[in-house]
């Protein structure tokens, strides 16, 4: 019951935030919402299926570059089309990559995903005629629901229509993911995570379930990636670098991978804390590395784990 | 033609020599402690910076430039002692945790060390100006190769042999292999695992820092060099097989030489080729070329 109350309050705050907060903080909410979508997907894999991907930046990059490619190479500007294209591209790539990766678990799964991520990163970096190399590509301002808002000043566009559009995408993504993890399919994923041998004995195809979770998580990551482009108007290969994959796993752990909303909380804290730290000293990595070390050693349940009464059973050993 | 080929080959082997040191550090730690240490690239970067400073201090103090390699190696080895601090201060808390947490803890180290290096040495690249060619150039068939490169290649080979000797011919090596095989049994037989882990991790760190120190006369030290090298070292150990020393040796040669070839023939392919090989190896032979051998 308190959970629903908190959720309603948070939703209300998010709705009225552009009226209350400064433009600067509203702008910071944009990457938060994009990463929140990414992390909803990542946690289906990490928290619910027990597979830790160190290459999900691939799909963020894929989604972001899909947006850049469509707006600069075609006359299409519609963000709906971009999101759809990003999701489809993510699904297709993940169907192939996932089929190869889910045959392995643990460190080998992590290494394979990392290798695929680096393949895509080097592709973005080296094939500069197609991707703009290390300078990246421009993302032209997309239309929202068919509305051409190109006459609006950039900040007004971002803290107004674009903010609510992102919020709507996040809300839809959250609802879908909530349904997924609470469906029989979601229960099967947890069975696969906790006891693959038993799941197999019960007639579940373990690799197929892992593969499905992988593809869904990639679709989320690509859609989130597509949302990252328009606020900055530019995408570059660092979006797909391996440290980016590490950072999103970090966000998930920071918030708490054992909880549905944990990763979102992690993304929120990560982005706003990073902004606060960087306004004081340029060395955010030092502070964040120390935080990550602290979380790993003392609070593996993350921030949500601190609120939850008993530590989740699998938080201590990660399975 | 031959000259061109030899140049490519020698620059590839030089890179392989450095890669081998860092990958060997990765392998000993993985072999014994079962931790994939992402921070070994950061140790490499640390070694490079400390090496630049040590050589700079040596030359400023009036040391003969021809002897710069002595403070360089000494600094590279000494700074490896940070391994003890990291192992005792952080890693030992997560030995009984899932490997995801161990991996993330080393990622935390990567983040911290990158900024610590920036805080200490600033963001501008640091180099040992003009010492690279102090030993002159050697003629190899038609090609000229800096003698320093040959020294590093020889040193790396010597270290490879020394590690082989350590692992197979000494008591500590036997303990390391026993711990890698079966930690509980080794402990039951009276091995003090705390001291083994501390020593193994320090050895792994020192290999990384030494690799970093040896590379800097040839290239400048930059704060991103660690996170860039770790993904190459990662390719090396996957191709060679996790935990295997022979694997690190062969893998480093494969990655070093192929990368040099790719840069010369079709630069766009550079690391792309390496990662495609990594994927092929992981899919066809996930244990790598020498994966069955332990430590």
What's residue B263's pLDDT?
86
Q: What is the mean pLDDT of residues B114-132?
A: 87
Q: Which of A82-91, A141-150, B276-285 has the highest mean pLDDT?
A: A82-91
Return the SS3 of A299. Answer: coil
B283 touches chain A (CB under 8 A): yes
CB crowding A145-184: b at 16 or more within 10 Å, else e: eeeeeeeeeeeebbbbbbbebbbebbeebbeebeebbeee
**What confidence tens digit (pLDDT) does each residue in A212-259 have?**
999 999 999 999 999 998 998 889 999 989 889 999 999 999 998 888
Q: At residue A266, does pLDDT exceed 60?
A: yes
Which member of B116, B268, B271 has the closest CB to residue A127? B268
Size of interface A-B (CB pairs under 8 A): 119
What's residue A311's pLDDT?
47
CB contact under 8 A, A293 and B36: no
Nearest CA in chain A to B276: A119
What's residue A100's pLDDT?
86
Nearest CA in chain A to B277: A115
pTM for the full predicted model: 0.88
What's residue A319's pLDDT?
40
List the domain boundaries for chain B.
Answer: 2-284
Report if residue A178 sits inside a domain.
yes
A66: pLDDT confidence band, cut at 50, 70 and 90?
A: very high
Q: At residue B178, does pLDDT exceed 50?
A: yes
Which member of B110, B227, B275 has the closest CB to residue A122? B275
What's residue A110's pLDDT?
86
What's residue B161's pLDDT?
94
**If you average pLDDT over every residue of chain A, what do you get?**
88
Q: Report whether A248 contacts A46 (CB < 8 A).
A: no
Number of domains in chain A: 1
Which member of B90, B272, B286 has the closest CB to residue A293? B90
A115 touches chain B (CB under 8 A): yes
The domain B2-284 is placed in CATH, from the list 1.10.286, 1.10.3470, 1.10.287, 1.10.10, at 1.10.3470
Q: List CB contacts (< 8 A) between A293 and chain B.
A: 90, 105, 108-109, 112
Q: Tell me which residue has tokens 């197609």.
A: A130
Q: Report whether A78 contacts A142 (CB < 8 A).
A: yes
- Among B104, B117, B273, B288, the residue to mutate for chain A (most A Cβ within 10 A): B104
Report if residue A317 sits inside a domain.
no
- Distance, CA of B193 to CA of B183 (rounded, Å): 8
What's residue B295's pLDDT?
35
B119 touches chain A (CB under 8 A): yes
Q: List CB contacts (< 8 A) between A126 and chain B.
A: 267-270, 272
Q: At residue B151, does pLDDT exceed 80?
A: yes
What's residue A308's pLDDT?
65
Distance (Å) from the C-alpha of residue A151 to the closest C-alpha of chain B? Answer: 40
Q: Identify the residue with better confidence: B156 or A314.
A: B156
Tell me the percentage of chain A whose pLDDT exceeds 70: 96
Return the closest-CA partner of residue B31 out of B240, B273, B284: B240
CB contact under 8 A, A283 and B283: no
Report if residue A279 sits inside a domain.
no
B249: pLDDT confidence band, cut at 50, 70 and 90?
A: very high
CB contact under 8 A, B105 and A318: no
Q: List CB contacts (< 8 A) between A317 and chain B.
A: 97-98
Q: List CB contacts (< 8 A) between A253 and chain B.
A: 104
Distance (Å) from the C-alpha of residue B60 to the closest C-alpha of chain A? Answer: 30
Q: What is the mean pLDDT of residues A115-138?
A: 87
Q: At residue B52, does pLDDT exceed 80?
A: yes
Q: List CB contacts (< 8 A) between A110 and chain B.
A: 100, 103
- Helix locations, chain A, DSSP H: 2-20, 23-43, 57-73, 79-101, 106-126, 128-131, 154-157, 163-181, 184-194, 196-201, 206-232, 242-255, 262-280, 284-298, 302-307
Q: What is the mean pLDDT of residues A155-183?
A: 92
CB contact under 8 A, A297 and B90: yes
Q: What is the mean pLDDT of residues A282-299?
A: 90
CB contact under 8 A, A246 and B114: no
A107 touches chain B (CB under 8 A): yes
Query: Interface pTM (ipTM) of the complex?
Result: 0.88
What's residue A309's pLDDT?
53
Of the ranges A58-72, A117-131, B72-86, B158-172, which one carries the lowest mean pLDDT score? A117-131
B34: pLDDT confidence band, cut at 50, 70 and 90?
A: confident
Distance (Å) from the C-alpha of residue B217 to the closest C-alpha of chain A? Answer: 27
- Distance, CA of A135 to CA of A129 (rounded, Å): 11
- Distance, CA of A224 to CA of A64 (rounded, Å): 8
In the stretch 137-166 of chain B, residues with CB closer than 8 A to chain A read none
- Among B27, B36, B87, B112, the residue to mutate for chain A (most A Cβ within 10 A): B112
Q: What is the mean pLDDT of residues B17-46?
A: 92
> Residue B129: left if φ>0, alpha if ψ -120 to 50, beta else—which one?
beta
Residues 6+ apart with CB under 8 A from B99: A106, A107, B34, B35, B36
Q: At residue B219, does pLDDT exceed 80?
A: yes
CA atoms in the 13 A half-sphere facing the CB of A28: 15
Q: List CB contacts (< 8 A) between B113 and chain A.
A: 289
CA atoms in the 13 A half-sphere facing the CB of A292: 30
What's residue B292's pLDDT?
56
Which member of A122, A253, A288 has the closest CB to residue B271? A122
DSSP state for residue B165 in the 8-state scheme: H
A104 touches chain B (CB under 8 A): yes
CB contact under 8 A, A292 and B116: no
What's residue A107's pLDDT?
81
**What confidence tens digit (pLDDT) does each residue in A27-40 have?**
999 999 999 999 99
**What confidence tens digit (pLDDT) does each residue in B59-79 have?**
888 888 888 889 999 999 999
- Other C-beta atoms closer than 10 Å to the C-beta of A115 total 27
Domain of A204, in residue numbers: 24-239
């Amino acid at each position: 019951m308190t959970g629903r109350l908190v959720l309603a309050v948070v939703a209300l705050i998010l709705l009225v935030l552009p009226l209350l907060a400064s433009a600067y903080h509203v702008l910071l909410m944009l990457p938060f919402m994009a990463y929140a979508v990414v992390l909803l997907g990542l946690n289906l894999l990490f928290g619910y299926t027990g597979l830790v991907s160190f290459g999900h930046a691939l799909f963020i990059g894929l989604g972001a570059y899909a947006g850049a490619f469509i707006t600069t190479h075609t006359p299409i500007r519609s963000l709906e089309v971009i999101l759809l294209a990003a999701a489809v591209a993510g699904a297709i790539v993940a169907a192939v990559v996932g089929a190869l990766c889910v045959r392995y678990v643990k460190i080998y799964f992590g290494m394979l995903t990392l290798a695929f991520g680096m393949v895509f990163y080097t592709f973005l970096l080296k094939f500069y005629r197609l991707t703009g190399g290390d300078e990246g590509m421009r993302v032209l301002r997309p239309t929202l629901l068919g509305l051409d808002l190109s006459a609006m000043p950039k900040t007004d566009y971002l803290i107004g229509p674009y903010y609510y559009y992102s919020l709507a995408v996040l809300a839809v993504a959250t609802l879908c993911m909530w349904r997924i993890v609470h469906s029989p399919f979601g229960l099967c994923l947890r069975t696969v995570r906790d006891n693959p041998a038993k799941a197999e004995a019960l007639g579940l195809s373990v690799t197929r379930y892992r593969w499905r979770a992988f593809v869904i998580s990639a679709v989320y990551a690509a859609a989130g990636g597509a949302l990252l482009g328009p606020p900055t108007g530019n995408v570059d290969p660092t979006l797909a670098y391996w440290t980016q994959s590490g950072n999103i796993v970090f966000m998930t752990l920071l918030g708490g991978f054992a909880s549905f909303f944990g990763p979102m909380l992690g993304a929120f804290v990560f982005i706003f804390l990073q902004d606060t730290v960087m306004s004081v000293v340029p060395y955010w990595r030092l502070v964040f590395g120390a935080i990550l070390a602290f979380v790993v050693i003392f609070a593996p349940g993350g921030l949500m784990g601190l609120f939850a009464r008993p530590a989740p059973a699998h938080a201590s050993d990660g399975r | 033609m031959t000259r061109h080929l030899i140049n490519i080959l020698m620059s590839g082997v030089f890179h392989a020599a450095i890669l081998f040191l860092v990958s060997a550090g990765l392998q000993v730690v993985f072999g014994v402690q079962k931790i994939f240490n992402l921070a070994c690239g950061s140790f490499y970067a640390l070694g490079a910076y400390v090496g630049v400073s040590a050589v700079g201090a040596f030359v400023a103090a009036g040391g003969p430039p021809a002897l710069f390699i002595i403070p360089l190696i000494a600094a590279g080895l000494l700074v490896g002692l940070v391994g003890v601090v990291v192992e005792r201060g952080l890693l030992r808390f997560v030995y009984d945790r899932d490997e995801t947490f161990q991996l993330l803890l080393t990622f935390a180290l990567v983040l911290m060390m990158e900024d610590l290096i920036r805080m200490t040495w600033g963001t501008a690249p640091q180099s040992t100006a003009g010492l690279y060619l102090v030993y002159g150039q050697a003629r190899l068939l038609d090609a000229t190769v800096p003698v320093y490169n040959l020294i590093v290649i020889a040193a790396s080979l010597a270290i490879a042999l020394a590690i082989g000797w350590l692992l197979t011919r000494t008591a500590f090596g036997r303990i390391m292999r026993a711990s890698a095989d079966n930690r509980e049994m080794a402990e039951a037989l009276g091995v003090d695992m705390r001291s083994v882990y501390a020593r193994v991790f320090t050895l792994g760190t020192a290999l990384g820092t030494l690799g970093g120190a040896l590379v800097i006369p040839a290239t400048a030290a930059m704060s991103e060099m660690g996170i860039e090298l770790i993904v190459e070292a990662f390719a090396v150990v996957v191709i060679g097989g996790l935990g295997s020393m022979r694997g690190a040796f062969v893998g480093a040669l494969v990655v070093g030489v192929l990368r040099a070839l790719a840069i010369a023939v079709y630069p766009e392919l550079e690391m792309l080729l390496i990662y495609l090989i990594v994927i092929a190896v992981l899919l066809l032979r996930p244990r790598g070329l020498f994966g069955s051998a332990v430590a």
